[in-house]
């Protein structure tokens, strides 16, 4: 699974997130490449919720 697919699955707009917070996006991308998606979710559970609220996927 790609990191952008994971973000979409979590209802986070990857392009908006990467443009607004490039350092966090880069560190998450690197960590995601090293971890299983479930482990990544568990480690960042509360932060993911904050990011989801800030950068939601826009519904058409």
- Whether 59 shows a pLDDT value over 90: the answer reads no
Q: How confident is the model at residue 60 (pLDDT cuts 50, 70, 90)?
A: low
Output the pTM of the full model. 0.88
On whether residue 42 sits in a domain, the answer given is: yes
Q: How many domains does the chain have?
A: 1
- Say how many C-beta atoms besides its own lie within 10 A of residue 38's C-beta: 8
Domain that holds residue 39: 3-54
Cα separation, 56 vs 38, whole angstroms: 20
On whether residue 59 sits in a domain, the answer given is: no
On whether residue 33 sits in a domain, the answer given is: yes
> pLDDT tens, 4-58?
999 999 999 999 999 999 999 999 999 999 999 999 999 999 999 999 999 999 8
């Amino acid at each position: 699974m790609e990191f952008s697919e994971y973000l979409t699955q979590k209802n986070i707009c990857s392009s908006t997130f990467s443009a607004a917070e490039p350092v966090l996006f880069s560190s998450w991308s690197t960590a995601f490449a090293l971890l299983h998606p479930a482990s990544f979710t568990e480690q960042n559970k509360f932060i993911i919720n904050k990011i989801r609220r800030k950068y939601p996927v826009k519904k058409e």
